[in-house]
Amino acid sequence: MIQLNIQDESSRLKAVVLGDASSNGPTPSLDEAYDPKSKEHIIAGTYPRNEDMLLEMEAFKKVLEKYEVKVYRPETIENYNQIFSRDIAFVIDDCIVLSNILPEREREIEAIQYLLDQIDEDNIIIPPEEVHIEGGDVMVWNEYLFVGTYTGLDYPDYKTARTNEAAVKFLEETFPNRIVKSFELRKSNEIAKENALHLDCCFQPLGRDLAILHPNGFLVAEEYQWIHDHFGAENVFIIDKDEMYDMNSNIFSIAPDVVVSEQNFTRLNHWMRAKGITVEEIPYAEIAKQEGLLRCSTLPLFRQPKNI
């Protein structure tokens, strides 16, 4: 049986599902694109090639294995994008929550069924249909659940709005031991630099008390200020629109003092090293063209409890 334990974003990682880029299929049409950044690259003729994304994911896998992380992969579905495993499910404590994902992506959950078959069914949570939720919008951080959402009346108009008000209430009811703190995110179907697709596109905690933040990703100034004050100005790295666009906040922690980051994130990587963090740099700029990066590509299953 597979054991689950996720208490935060940065404790020592022991087991993870890493997405798969082995059979992404042809470049999608504009109508098939899920986000504005992918649309930009489809129009420009710069949408990432399958072979380049495969090389980037293999580089990520090698770093994970270097730190003795057990790496699971989804079963390969021919001509189907399976890179962003964070979207399809997420773990809180010892439970895995299956996302109500975009209908076009439902087969991605089928590809990890062999893993779900190894998890106690009492630890598998399937939200009701009205609960829209994806793992990129949910972060476990000690006593908190940080949740990115969009609750505007025009929610149905945004393909980039992935987690709704019903999801926030569902998490409050399902995990009463956690303080659920939600944040309204800025959405755009057409302008990538004005779109926070998920919470991890504009915020991520790391280490034990550090955070990366992009202020414009938050719709409500007071909510942004709360998260900034919670970590403290001296512990926060602010990224601008260009850095947000390049996905600087979507790095991935293997341990409090070990982070995997994109090799071109020069300013951020320097800051993390100055904070005592080992930064494992890999190429991931091609995958970033789909408005996702390292955190999006992972579904952590087990992090070592802090007292061990």
> Which pLDDT tens digit goes with each residue over 189-204?
888 888 888 999 999 9
For residue 279, being part of any structural domain is answered with yes
pLDDT given at position 307: 61
CATH at 34: 3.75.10.10
- Rounded mean pLDDT, 169-180: 97
Query: What pLDDT sits at residue 32?
Result: 79
Cβ-count burial of 123 within 10 angstroms (0-12 exposed, 13-18 middle, 19+ buried)?
middle
Residue 308 has pLDDT above 70, yes or no: no
pLDDT at 35: 80
What is the number of alpha carbons within 13 Å of residue 23 lying toward its C-beta? 9
pLDDT of residue 96: 98
Phi, psi of 35 (to 5 degrees): -150, 160
Query: Residue 21 pLDDT > 90, yes or no?
Result: yes
47-51, 99-103, 123-127: least confident range: 99-103
222 domain residue, yes or no: yes
Q: Note the pLDDT of residue 166.
A: 95
Find the mean pLDDT for residues 240-248. Answer: 95
> Residue 216 contacts by C-beta under 8 Å, 6 or more apart in sequence?
186, 194, 202, 241, 244
Range of the domain at 182: 13-303
Q: Are 73 and 15 in contact (CB under 8 A)?
A: no
Radius of gyration of the chain measured on its C-alpha atoms = 18
pLDDT band at 25 (very low <50, low <70, confident <90, very high): confident
pLDDT at residue number 24: 84
How far apart (Å, rounded) are the C-alpha atoms in residues 304 and 308?
7
Mean pLDDT for the chain? 93
Contact (Cβ atoms closer than 8 angstroms) between residue 302 and residue 288:
no
Domain total of the chain: 1
Residue 77 three-state SS: coil
Report yes or no on 246 lying in a domain. Answer: yes
In this prediction the pTM is 0.94
Q: What is the pLDDT of residues 261-285, one digit of tens each?
A: 999 999 999 999 999 999 999 999 9
In a domain, 4, yes or no: no
**Helix residue ranges, H only, the chain:** 36-44, 50-66, 107-110, 113-116, 165-174, 221-231, 241-245, 266-274
What residues contact residue 198 under an 8 Å CB cut-off, 6+ apart? Answer: 134, 136, 137, 148, 162, 163, 185, 296
* 108 within domain boundaries: yes
Q: Is residue 6 a part of any domain in this protein?
A: no
Does residue 238 register a pLDDT over 90?
yes
Is residue 196 included in any domain, yes or no? yes
Tens digits of residue pLDDT in 34-86: 788 888 888 998 998 989 999 999 999 999 999 999 999 999 999 888 999 99
Q: Is the C-alpha dihedral spanning 218, 221, 227, 231 positive or negative? A: positive
- 5 in any annotated domain: no
